[in-house]
Amino acid sequence: MGFCVALMLLKVCFLPGTLALGATNGLTKEEAMKNNILNFEDLENLKLAEDLAKTCVEMYSVTSTSLAPEIAYFHTEEFFEQGLDGGNTSSEYVNDIIIKPADCHNLL
């Protein structure tokens, strides 16, 4: 049985906008709902887009420079590393996101 690590690449932060635009055909969420053009799959894609965008914002917020790392790992029951946070101790998520030294070269 393999080992799975919860991680997210910075490039994933481009995906929420793509998902939202595809689901709403370029309209705002409110316009798409008003025009009744969203099906179940579209609504699922919008929820995924919102969740991914929130996680991207959290990746930025845990660092003291407000710049995101190339790769962020997430603390889980199976995977936890102490002392590898982004440095912003005022962030609500500082203990949830792990930033390894090799992945923080772009944080200044």
Average pLDDT over residues 25-51: 95
User: Per the confidence metrics, is the pTM higher than 0.75?
Assistant: yes
Catalytic, 70? Answer yes
pLDDT, one tens digit per residue, over 49-81 is 999 999 999 988 888 888 888 888 888 877 777
Catalytic one of 30, 31, 41, 70: 70
Supply the pLDDT for residue 19.
96
**Full 3-state SS string of the chain:** CCCCCCEEEHHHHHHHHHHHHHHHCCCCHHHHHHCCCCCHHHHHHHHHHHHHHHHHHHHHHCECCCCCCCEEEECCCCCCCCCCCCECCCCCCCCCEECCHHHCCCCC
Per-residue pLDDT for 48 more than 60?
Answer: yes
